[in-house]
Structure formats: structure tokens, C-alpha cells
A and B are shown apart, each in its own frame.
Chain A
Amino acid sequence: MLNLVSQLNLSMYLKSSLGIFLLCLTMNVFAQTNFSSNILEKATIGKNANALVKANDVEIHIQAYNKMLVKSHRIVTIYNETGDYKGQAYEYYDETTKIKTLEATVYNAAGEKIKRYKEKDFTDVAAADGISIYNDNRVKYLKYAAVEYPYTIDYISEVEHKMTAFVPSWSPLEDHYTGVIESSYQIFNETDVPLAIKEEHLEDYNIKKVGDYHYVAENLLAIKPETLSPDFYTYAPRVKVAMQTFDMKGVKGVNTNWTDFGKWMYNTLLVDTRTLPESVKTEILGLTKEAPTNIEKAKIVYQYLQQNTRYISVQVGIGGWKPMLAEDVDRLSYGDCKGLSNYTKALLDVVGVPSYYAVIYGGKNIRSFDRDFSATEGNHAVLTIPNGDDYIWLECTSQDTPFGYIANFTDDRDALIITPEGGKIIHTTVYDTKANVLATTADINLNLEGGFTSQVEMKSYGSQYRGSDGLEEETEKNQKLRFKNMWDNVNDLVVESIQFTNNKNEVVFTENVKVSAKSYASKTGNRLLLVPDVFNKLSHIPPRYSKRTMSLEIDRGFLDQDEYVFHLEAGLDVEALQSPVAIETKFGSYAMSIEDLGDGKLRYKRKLQLEKGTYPKEDYKAYRAFWSSISKHDNSKIVLLTK
């Protein structure tokens, strides 16, 4: 609608202005095509986009191993509120960063200037990330409240960095829902410091290398995210750059491969950070005195850590990369992931157990370090203990995770471990399908009204282990609410008693619950319709895509096993039972059966196994069909007659 209006305005303007203004007019039209939004763009490159990058030109001038000037000029049309953040009119700064130029101009849909902002009009605040208690960065940003969409921001900045450990990489497609008309990237290396460079997926997007360290991308269509698909960074175009000699807050570093990068980290960021007070040393030596093996000692140290510290994010120190001193962690009894991992290492050093500090990407999505390109990567720190050919990984920020348990956050990915000899890329623990079990058994007494009472037991293992979610610490009210929400297929469920047993040593969590419901099986005339899958009903089918564009990726496999015995009250007779079902697919298998045991007893069994794997996009449809058939069978009913 707004696009139409802007076109209309433009043509009216053309009509009313005659020949004498021709020169002016041409210039005007040129200006307007730059800053106005037009229908054609929205319908083509801007399709599916919340924002359209009309131009994004970045120049990096490397003037010394510790001096880098980054100039950027960015013109973006924002289509809606969700796209507001794509204006990206902000610069972070701290004592190593100097903003030399900062200005922006905002245009309306017709390309008419709304307002120009100079550096002093930018809002200057501490860069609170909402997580950290403190970080020492500041940011200057443009606080622009849009009244109408689309609008266009023309943004120019020039920033001088003394810290060169992070040379801005180039990701021309930027993000989901973002279209790009033109984006360029050029590095001027005015020094003899060699640059390492890595190009990723450029050919898939027809991106040209137009000179040494000079790239241009044009007409990149906006991409929408899809469920169960690979992460954006695995297919988006990118150029990564690292200086082989760099500076991190006044500390010179060398990076030609992971080995020396790791060595640099060890020698400058980690060394001399692990001094502990004598009293603590004595205490930990005393505690581990009797432990026969290194692993036993490590378990005691880990328990000591969990009991005596907690996690607080504090982003200070060298670029947020140097851990807090172990003695500070000890004194304050808190630290962030770096501080706590390093503190644990200090404790392990005291008791003579070798361990390595490791940098990793933390998150449910699996993201690995790039084995072939060493650069400052990662967002999390953990600790690892070599154990024969294998490694035990310790999450040091949690107070209740079992020893060596890392499922769903740092499992199955490449991480960088820092040894005195240098850095090494190591793959973390993988949790196998058959180890990720949820086993549910229940005895269910069903009465004539369709209500039931039941004793349920659930045991969870591996990535399904529920013992580190803090359930035991919750109030009784919230524990009850959790079961009511988990079994929301049973209306007006009453949770009568709850018992948890957490075996951290074996990593098994057992939940024993007694529940009841006044009416569960629904009545129709003289029939009761009973859905036998009471406690593990699939509630969500993956969404349908009329055209799936990305491959299907399942990060973790699992196995669910259910076995319930129904005891029917006298007067209830079976009219119809479902036949057994067994489905085998390449993604996994599903089986369900009901057996009449006589004496008013029925046994329901269900088994669902899903495998980890990556499949071509064509398979998504079959995968979804697998889930819909599971949903169908999970919903199928036993018909009982009441007399």
C-alpha cells in the first residue's frame, strides 16, 4: 500500500515539474531510487524480507598489527517492526576503540529526508547485555522510533580499533529475512602482517572476488528459517579473516594455526591466573587424600566447586577472554564460565589431576569450531580431563549437573582445548540414541465414569535425563503444575504425590507420581472412549512446508518406552481394540500394541525411537508423515461398553 503511494507521488511530481527542472529532476530521481523503497525490490529481492540491504560497503584498513580502521556505509530499507534491528546504526566502543565518524539519515518511503542525525544525536549507554552483572563496553546507537514503514536508513561510520584479535568477518547475507542488493568487503593491508583468509559458500551465491581481499555480493534473496534445518552459518556465505600477528588489549599474539593460537592463549590469558590461597590447597588435598584414582579425585573437586561457587556473568578483562583470577573466584565464590573453569583447573592442579581449559560454542544447537581456520571463536568455556584416549568434559557453571554430564549444551561438537604445548581441536562426548532413554510404566485403574487413579514411574537417562533441571528444588506447587502441563491431555488432573530419586553417579533420574482424574475417557451414549496413551502422547507435528528448501537435520536421537496396565472396573467391557502397529522408517521406528490380559486387564505398549541424522530436503515430507502417523496412533481409542 505504502509502496503504491510513493510511486504515485513520484509520478505526480514528474508530471508537474516541467523541462526547465529536468537537470534537477534527474538528480532527484537518482537520489530517490537510492533512498526510496520500491515495489519491484519488495517483490523480488525483498520478498520474505523484514529488511532490504540496498548497499553495505565495508573497508578495513590494517595500519599496524595493533591498529585497524573500519569504514562502513550502509543503506537499509526497513519493512516492518521486526526489521528495525537491521538498521544496525550503532557502534560499540571501549578504551581500545575510537569512533571517528558516526552519522545517519532517515528517509521515508518516497525517499524524502525525514531527519539527519549527527554523532551527538546518538544515544550513548553502557552496553548492558541483560545477562552480565557488568561489562565494560559502551555503545552509541540511534534511537529511532518509526512512525511508518518502510523507511530507509543511510548510515556511515568510521571506527579505529587498537585491538585486532577480531577482524570483522564478512557475512553479506547477514541473517534470515534479509534481502541484499549489494554488499562489498575490502581489506587494505598496509602492513607486512600476513592475513589468513577463508571463503565459505561464496560460489553458492555467485559472489565475486574482484581483487585481493576484495569481494562483492549482489542480489541475495532473503532466506526464511525452517524447522530442523542446519544452522544459518553452515550455508550462508562468509569470508573470515584473521591477522597472523594481532593485539588483544595490549597483548601481542601470534596465530598461524590452532597450535600457536592455543599456545598464545595459554601463555598470555591463562598463565599466572591459577594461584590459590594455601588454606584452600590444604582443604582440597585433605578432601581428596583417600581417593584412589584421578577420576575419583576429580569428582571430589567437582563437588567442591558445585558446593562453593555459583555462576555470574562478568564480562571484563581482556576482551572478555581472560578468566578472573582463581583466587578472586575463591574469595568471591562466584565467577563466569571462564573464571569457574579456570578455578576448577587450579584445584585439579593442586591434587595432581591433569586438565585443560577449553573454549567451545555452548547451546542446544550443535556448533563446531572450524578445524581449518584458527581465529577467536566460541561463546563458552568448559574444562576437560584426559581419560585414556578419551576426555571427560566438565560444565563448571552448574551447581547440580552430574560429573561429566554435558548433554544438550556442549555435547557432540568440536572444541578448542588449550594445552601448554598449544591448542588442539577435540570432539566432545556424543550421546547415543539408545542411551537417551525415557522409560515410563504405569498401573491405571479406570472406573465406570471414565476417571482413573494411577501410579506412574518414569526413568530418564542420557540426553533425556531430567535430574539437572532443578526440579527437586521447585516448590511443590510448581512441581505439580509441571506434571499438569506435561500431561495436559488429561483434563483436571490431580497430582496426589510426587517422589524424585536422583542418582547422579549413574545419571538416572526417577520420578514416581500418583495421579488421578475424575473424567478422562469420554462418554458417548453407553460407550467410553479411552485413549490408552495417557502419559506420553505426542502433542506436536512439525510444520508443513509447501516447498521445503533446506535439508533435514536431527541433532540427537532418543528412545521412549512406555508400558501401562489398565485395570477396568467391573461393568466395563471391551467393544473394540486397535490392532498392533509397527512403523519402520529411515528416521526411526514406532510400535504400539494392546493386549487383553483377561480379568478386566489390558496392557498397552509403545516404543518410539528416533535416530540422529541429516537427510536431503526431499525427505522432510516423509519425516513429517512419520510424525503424523505417530500422532494418529497416539490418539487412537479403545471403545469400552458400560452396562
Chain B
Amino acid sequence: MKNVFSLLCLLIISYTSAQDYKFGKISKAELKETANPKAQEAHATILYVNENVYFQYNPSEGFIVVKEVQKRIKIYDKEGVDWATEIVPFYDNGGSNVEELSELKGYTYYLKDGKIEKDKLDKDNIFKEETNQYWGQLKFTMPNITDGCIVEFRYRKESPFIALDDVDLQYDIPVKKLEFNARIPEYFYFNKYFNPKAKYTAKITETERNRVENITSKQRSGGGGFNSSTTSVDNSKWEFHETEFKADLVDVPALKEEPYVDNMDVYRANVKWEYAMYKGQDNSIKKYSTDWESVIKTIYDNSSFGGQLSKTGYFEKDLDALLANVTSSTERISLIYNFVKSKVAWNEYLGYYAENGVKKAYKDGSGNVGDINLMLTAMLRYAGLNASPVLISTKSNGIPLYPTRNGFNYVISAVEMLDNIILLDATYRYALPNVLPSRAINWQGRIVREHGGSAWVDLMSPTSGEENYTLQYKIKPDLAVQGRVFVKLENSSAMKFRSKYSNMGDDERLRNLEQDKGEIEISNYVVKNEDDLNSPSLQYSFSYTLENAVESIGDKLYVSPMLFYATTENTFKQEKRNFPIEFTYPNVYNYNVSIMLPEGYVVESMPESAKVQFNGGEGMFSFLTSGSSNMVVLKVSFQINRSFILAIDYDQFKQYFGMLVKKETEKMVLAKS
């Protein structure tokens, strides 16, 4: 007996000295901590976060999904105060099936004269706002934030939808302890998917357990004429299995932002859940997704997708007029593509399902991604082209590596020809055939063909952006430079030019063009093909005079031969990288420079010719000089043949780019003849 007692004591002692994560059990040690010992530079740290998900049963509504969240965040200094504001989104389309938030409670803890004090989160500081017609958000800021304080809050979300939210296993600040728990009844089969691009990896365990629900059903009987009615109550037990998913992580490193990454979420460790199958008590089975073909079938069978593709009546007359006498496939594609772009504007909502329905979108002139690109596909098919929708996941939605419906959130259109495929996105006015807006370029998409069958399509631009510069100039006796420039832009380069300049007036364009080109005066600035949004090519040219580009020291002249087109700065300044550099579009830059020397001068020295490859052809730089008595000719070419550079290649890439900068800034020296 004595032994048992001392054992109990021991247990209690070890329990209290351990970290206590119960709501409200903040320790002095936690409050006294001035920096995260494992990540000194962190301005704030999540000491504890717990997400608890379960399916609650009630006889009238069946199962609802409950998520309980508790967070304890330490704020070390004022740079960390943003973490005292929390935003909780919830689905609310104004209808009856909406998500509901409740039981929000929060306190700020701090030390005063060595004692723990706390301040409550007031109702006045909790704000419910609508984000758009589908989503609302609850926003609150914890009171009395001082250096070293701890905020702790919890809330509960109830959802009538059989779906599980994505679970973040990594935050922008370090996490000391993260617990996740989900218990899912045997009737609902969920697939779980980890983000394969994340650097941090976590484990989730699965165990089976029993669950018993007491079902009470009431039945009225009798009550005809003169007998009073009786109510019989029937209590029965309902037993079933649940799968418990659990994660228990300690010291999760922060996901730190890096330049040249479009969206850091692509690299965040997280878990996505796909509702795959429902198995009824009678063992009847309803599949939602299991493999790609069934995912695609589920999407296709929905009237907001497949149904939209078969509607043609609303546009037939207009399209017949548009396509009369046009037989060439490329011309038909181009006409239809432009027609949709000029007919329906994107309302900035994503989604592969049509939001308003293609017919209404056509009539109103506005629609979401699904409305627009499904309409485009239907029209292309109507015109006899082999067109199909391609399901895509935008960068913020992650990569569709596993068969899931939620994995996609965007759709474009593809036309399959004999030997090539043309990708089209009509939601962006400056996009071109096979040049998609950057939001739609993420790994690969799934093409869904008309008579069943689906396959992966590479979304990376098959055609590189191209910028060709021809720079001609002469150095005048007064050392001013005078010359002309011809530029030809192709594909994504043309798209970027149009989106940047189309809203600028002539004057502003000129100033933009003159910017960072030194003491320059530009004239005769002419742009061709800008308004023809169908053309993948655009040209411009200008004349210029440039002062201070030639420096005379002693009796020699020093000139940077590429003038204002020389890259003078290595933009890659970081010492190391964790994530790839994203370029999105592969690109080729060519410069043809010809220089007429001033009378009475000869070349004393020229930068040497050079040719360098990066990583077996992922990049290429060449710098070739040649010349005659009074002319110097320079051919410079720089290519990036991939849409991204891997982090492991960063150091090499930085050096490669540094070499380019060094070469382009080298001077040509002229001496008196």
C-alpha cells in the first residue's frame, strides 16, 4: 500500500513539472522565456497548437464535423505582435448549410511583479465579417500585448459538410508542440496526402477504436378518437468503428520566406484529406474518389462541369457568323479564343465548376474560371476542334499528385492537334495560345477527353519567352553616344509587355523606357503589334542619344559596350536557399550590338569572348566579340531553359549569374591611333 502511494506521488510530481498544455495552464517558465532557445531570431513561437476533429452524431441531422482548435502563442517582441490577431475563415453563402463558429475564448497572459496576470478577450474585439459571397471570417485581436506575453485562445467549428480541412503541420514561426487528432467513423473513407514539396516531413499514426452511440427513438401510437395517445421510448445502442489519425510533433521549424518564390504555401508541410467513399450500414458503397478515372468521372458527371460542355444553343448563332468561311483550324481557334476573351470578363473567382452557368455568363458578360473556359471548350468543339478541358491546381492550392477532386481548383482548355497541343486560358486578356497566365502554371494538369479517358499535360510553357535586342550606336567626337534600338518580343515576353504598358500613356511609357538608362534622350519610339492580342510577337524601336556613357581618363576612353543593357547587379544576393528559384517562364535574351568608333581612336582592349553553360544546359551564356578597324560587333546571348532552378543548384547559379554580370560590365578601352 505504501508503495502504491509513493508511486502515485511520483507520478503527480513528474506530471506537474512537465509542460502543461491544458487551456489556461500557463507556466511562469513560459512567460519568462525571452527567446526561443532553438530559433533565437523568432519574434514569436507557437508553444502549443491542438486541432481536434471528430464526427458528432445527432439524430435529426446525422453526422456533423466538429473541429476544436486551441493555440498558445508566445510573443517575444513587437515584431511578433501580428500573431496576436487571428483570422478564422468559415463557409457562409447565406443559405442554410453553413459552417458555424462558437465557444471562442481567449486570454493574454503576462508577468507583473513576478505574478501571472491575465486579460480576457472581450466581445468588442471579436469581429465577424463577410469576405465574399461564399466565405466569412472571424477576426480577433488579443488584448494587452507586451513583449514576452503569451496569448491563448480556443474555438469550435461545426460543419454540415462531410469534409476535413487541410491541416497545417508547419507555420511561418516555429512550433514547439503540435497535436492533431481526427476520429473518423467507418462509414467515411478519407485519403490523406502530405505535401510532397515540403522540406519538413511529419508522421501521422492510425489506430482503430470502437464507438458506441445511444440512440433514442420516440414513437407515438394510438390517439384515434377517445384514447389518449401514448409515447413509447426505445433506447438502443449503435456500435461502430472509428479510425483515429494522430500527429504529435515537437520543434517544427518555421517556414521562412524566400525571394523568387511565387507562393510559399507550395512548400508548407501539410495534410490534405479527400473524402473518397461512403459505406452505408447496409454495406452499400458510394465512391467519391479512388483513382484518377473516378475523380474525373465525379467531376465530369456534375452538371456544373460536363453539363456545361454540352450546351451550345446560346452561342450557335454568334459563332456561325464568326466562323463563316473560316476553315483553317488555327484561325478558328484564334477567332474563338479572342471572341470569348472579349465577350466574358473574369469575375476573379476560381473553380473548375461553372459558377453562374455558361449561358448566364455569356449573357451577363462575366463569369468565373469554370464559366469562361468550359464555354471556350464547348465553342471549340462546336467548331469541330478536338478540344477538352484541363483541370489545374493553382500555386496556392498545391500540387495535384494524388487523385483528389479538391486537388484541382482551376480549369483551362486544350486543343489536341495531330502533332501538338494548344493550351488556352480565356480569363486573362493578355494570355496567348500556349502562354498561360502565371497563376495557371503549376506542374501539370489533367486533360479530360470527350469520350472518356484522361491524361497528364505539362503546363510549363512549351515555347520560351524571347527578347531580341539589336543595338547600334556610334561614339561622336564630343563622346556622346547616338544610336538606334530594335526589339522583338515573343510569347510570354510579349504578354508581359502588354500587361505592363497597355494602361500607360505615351509620355509615361517614354519615361518608363528612359528610366535607369542613364543620361538618355529617347525619340521615335514606335511599338508594333501591341493591340493585336492574338499575335505572340511584338516589336518596338527607338532612337537615342546618351551622355556620360563614355569616360575619358588620361588619353583613353572607357566604355561598357552593352551600354544600358548591361546587367550591372547580381540580383541573387542570398547566401543560401532552401527552395527553388521560380522563373515560371523559360526565357531567351539575345543582344546584337554594333559600335562605330570615334574618329582617331582604335581598340586597345576588349572584354574577352566567353561561353558558359549552367548545369548541363539548363542555362547558357555566351559573349562573343569581333571587329574591324572602326567597328566593334558584340553578340551576347543568355538563356534559362527551365522554369525553375533547384535549391541545390543555387550556389552554382549565383556564381554563373555573377560571371554574367562581371562580363557584361567589363570595359572596352579605346586609345588614340
Q: Is the pairing of A and B real?
A: yes
Known contacts A48-B505, A80-B502, A133-B141, A525 near B605 by CB under 8 Å = yes
A333 and B143 within 8 A (CB) = yes
- Given A473-B78, A636-B553, list of 17 further CB < 8 A pairs? A48-B507, A145-B346, A312-B141, A332-B144, A475-B41, A484-B573, A491-B662, A492-B570, A524-B666, A525-B669, A541-B518, A544-B514, A545-B507, A545-B511, A576-B554, A637-B558, A639-B554
Known contacts A81-B503, A147-B344, A544-B511, A334 near B77 by CB under 8 Å = no
Q: Which residues of chain B from 544 to 580 have a CB within 8 Å of any chain A CB?
A: 547-548, 551, 553-554, 556, 558, 568-570, 573-575
Which residues of the partner chain A approach B364 to less than 8 Å between Cβ atoms? Answer: 115
Known contacts A126-B130, A145-B348, A1 near B658 by CB under 8 Å = no
Q: Which residues of chain A from 555 to 580 have a CB within 8 Å of any chain B CB?
A: 575-576, 578
B573 and A485 within 8 A (CB) = yes
Bound together, the chains give a CA A631 to CA B520 distance in angstroms of: 13
Bound together, the chains give a CA A81 to CA B519 distance in angstroms of: 32
Bound together, the chains give a CA A143 to CA B515 distance in angstroms of: 35
**Of B139, B365, B569, B573, the contact of A481 (CB 8 Å cutoff):** B573
Q: Which residues of chain B from 406 to 464 have a CB within 8 Å of any chain A CB?
A: none
B618 at the interface (CB under 8 A from A): no
Q: Which residue of B lies closest to A128 (CB)?
A: B129
Q: Which residue of A lies closest to B79 (CB)?
A: A473
**How many residues belonging to B are interface residues under a CB distance threshold of 8 Å?**
70
A522 and B667 within 8 A (CB) = yes
What are 28 A-B contacts with C-beta separation under 8 Å?
A: A48-B505, A50-B503, A128-B129, A133-B141, A145-B366, A147-B365, A147-B366, A224-B507, A310-B145, A312-B141, A331-B143, A332-B122, A333-B143, A333-B144, A333-B145, A334-B141, A399-B78, A476-B41, A489-B569, A491-B661, A524-B605, A524-B666, A525-B605, A544-B520, A544-B521, A628-B548, A639-B553, A639-B556
Which residues of the partner chain A approach B341 to less than 8 Å between Cβ atoms? Answer: 147
Bound together, the chains give a CA A128 to CA B342 distance in angstroms of: 31
Bound together, the chains give a CA A125 to CA B129 distance in angstroms of: 8
Nearest 6 interchain pairs by C-beta:
A145-B345, A333-B144, A576-B554, A82-B503, A525-B605, A332-B143
Instruction: Indicate with 1 or 0, residue by residue over B655-673, a CB within 8 angstroms of chain A CB atoms.
Output: 0001001100111110000
Which residues of the partner chain B approach A80 to less than 8 Å between Cβ atoms? Answer: 502-503
A473 and B77 within 8 A (CB) = yes
B119 at the interface (CB under 8 A from A): yes
**How many residues belonging to A are interface residues under a CB distance threshold of 8 Å?**
69
Most buried by A among B141, B342, B348, B607: B141
Which residues of the partner chain B approach A9 to less than 8 Å between Cβ atoms? Answer: none
Instruction: Indicate with 1 or 0, residue by residue over B65-91, a CB within 8 angstroms of chain A CB atoms.
Output: 000000000000111010001000000
Bound together, the chains give a CA A543 to CA B519 distance in angstroms of: 9
Known contacts A80-B503, A544-B514, A632-B548, A334 near B130 by CB under 8 Å = no
A470 at the interface (CB under 8 A from B): yes
CB distance from A486 to the nearest CB of B (A): 11
Instruction: Indicate with 1 or 0, residue by residue over A531-556, a CB within 8 angstroms of chain B CB atoms.
Output: 00000000011011110000000000
Bound together, the chains give a CA A489 to CA B661 distance in angstroms of: 11
Which residues of the partner chain B approach A470 to less than 8 Å between Cβ atoms? Answer: 79
A133 and B79 within 8 A (CB) = no
B573 and A529 within 8 A (CB) = no
B144 and A331 within 8 A (CB) = yes
A541 and B130 within 8 A (CB) = no
Known contacts A48-B505, A631-B519, A147 near B146 by CB under 8 Å = no
A334 and B503 within 8 A (CB) = no
**Of A125, A143, A527, A628, the contact of B547 (CB 8 Å cutoff):** A628
Instruction: Indicate with 1 or 0, residue by residue over A440-480, a CB within 8 angstroms of chain B CB atoms.
Output: 00000000000000000000000000000010010111001
Q: Which residues of chain B from 83 to 131 have a CB within 8 Å of any chain A CB?
A: 85, 119, 122, 125, 127, 129-130
Which residues of the partner chain B approach A636 to less than 8 Å between Cβ atoms? Answer: 551, 553
Q: Which residue of A lies closest to B364 (CB)?
A: A115
Bound together, the chains give a CA A631 to CA B556 distance in angstroms of: 20
CB distance from A626 to the nearest CB of B (A): 12
A190 at the interface (CB under 8 A from B): no
Q: Which residue of B lies closest to A307 (CB)?
A: B146
Known contacts A128-B129, A529-B667, A334 near B658 by CB under 8 Å = no
B127 and A133 within 8 A (CB) = yes
B303 at the interface (CB under 8 A from A): no
B332 at the interface (CB under 8 A from A): no
Which residues of the partner chain A approach B507 to less than 8 Å between Cβ atoms? Answer: 48, 224, 545-546
Q: Which residue of A lies closest to B43 (CB)?
A: A473
Bound together, the chains give a CA A470 to CA B558 distance in angstroms of: 42
Bound together, the chains give a CA A527 to CA B670 distance in angstroms of: 13
Q: Which residue of B lies closest to A577 (CB)?
A: B553
B141 and A525 within 8 A (CB) = no
B503 and A126 within 8 A (CB) = no
Which residues of the partner chain B approach A312 to less than 8 Å between Cβ atoms? Answer: 141
Bound together, the chains give a CA A53 to CA B505 distance in angstroms of: 18
Instruction: Indicate with 1 or 0, residue by residue over A297-336, a CB within 8 angstroms of chain B CB atoms.
Output: 0000000000110101000000000000000000111100
**Of A1, A123, A524, the contact of B669 (CB 8 Å cutoff):** A524
B347 at the interface (CB under 8 A from A): yes
A332 and B503 within 8 A (CB) = no
CB distance from B397 to the nearest CB of A (A): 22
Which residues of the partner chain A approach B145 to less than 8 Å between Cβ atoms? Answer: 310, 333-334
CB distance from B564 to the nearest CB of A (A): 12
Which residues of the partner chain B approach A307 to less than 8 Å between Cβ atoms? Answer: 146
B342 and A147 within 8 A (CB) = yes
A519 at the interface (CB under 8 A from B): yes
B41 and A332 within 8 A (CB) = no
**Of A48, A143, A310, A576, the contact of B78 (CB 8 Å cutoff):** A310
Bound together, the chains give a CA A110 to CA B212 distance in angstroms of: 70
Instruction: Indicate with 1 or 0, residue by residue over B483-525, a CB within 8 angstroms of chain A CB atoms.
Output: 0000000000000000000110101101100111011110000
A421 at the interface (CB under 8 A from B): no
Which residues of the partner chain B approach A148 to less than 8 Å between Cβ atoms? Answer: 342
A134 and B41 within 8 A (CB) = no
